[in-house]
Structure 1
Amino acid sequence: MRHPGHELRVQLADRELAATNPLVELAQIVVGLVAGRVTASEVLRLAAHEACARRFRFDEDDLATLGHRAAESGARWGLDAGHRGEYGLRDLADNTWANALDRLALGVAVAADSAANAPVDDIGSNDITLVGRFLELLDGPCRRTCPPALHTRGHPRPAHRRRVDRLAPADGHLPR
């Protein structure tokens, strides 16, 4: 016979759910990111979150390099000129993530002295996979044309849930 006390559901009142569940914290970061200005510091905070760092294999050195590359690429805020339009700056694409990611990708693909659109210089062969993983991380947030729900296994999944699933490790478990 099982004691009735085992059926009680208990939650600590002095701790936020995000403090006990890193995926809830990740969801909060993603919602804040897509609802806000998408600043460089917010994006780097997303990359540093334990779930993203594990999923995209970012270590401390990688995160420091990404901070340097983000600054070097000119990323400040906004996904693209359309996103900046929400702030009255529709025609200003400079220093957006779309522009910065293009510059990073060009930095991998072409020499800095080419006539291309100002690629980020000096991306060595050791950083090519890191830049690729960073581009993959930002692929979802920078694709603003996502439908509000995606049907998977017969039921709809909200866009924010898909983003968290894509950013977290496939097994959903994080090391403690």
Structure 2
Amino acid sequence: MYRRITDVGLKLFSERGYEGTTLDAIAEASGIARRTFFHYFASKEEIILAWQKSLPDELGAEIRKQGVKASPLATTHAALIALAAQMHPDVAMLIGRIVQTTEQLQLGNQAKFLQMEHAAYEALRELWQGVDRQAGLRLAAMASVGAMRLSVETWIADGCQQALAEHLEANFKSLRAEMGAD
């Protein structure tokens, strides 16, 4: 039900605009009562945030899946590339536009990246154990999620003309170049 309401809400936002979509319309199109909507979501803003909530867990799981075949930075890079392949440009463009309409959604978007950073760090800590590595692992998580954030912003700003993975590759290349520079 949660997923259905989210999908219906996003569809209606794309057809009618965010402001033009009411809770009643979302409930009706989802085949539920307005009261049932509130069992799953407190507001229509939460539909946008719901789409983003799964990203931190997905990132952590993908990092664990990648394992210790490469460096922490390269592992996180590979995990983000895998996530990027699952992101749909039309949904990203829609959510990117909607997020810019309210301060609450902008703050939720910022929180998503912080949660992704934390999930990446926790996954890296599980793979590379040791107190002496914690600062480096945290920096790898921060830098990687920062590269993802910049990539998503650029991807949406250019109308998703290039694949998100191409933006990620370019930003990780720049990151590695800057890390090697003195």
Q: Same fold (TM over 0.5)?
A: no
- TM-score, normalised to structure 2, is 0.30
Larger helix fraction of residues: 2
- TM-score, normalised to structure 1, is 0.30
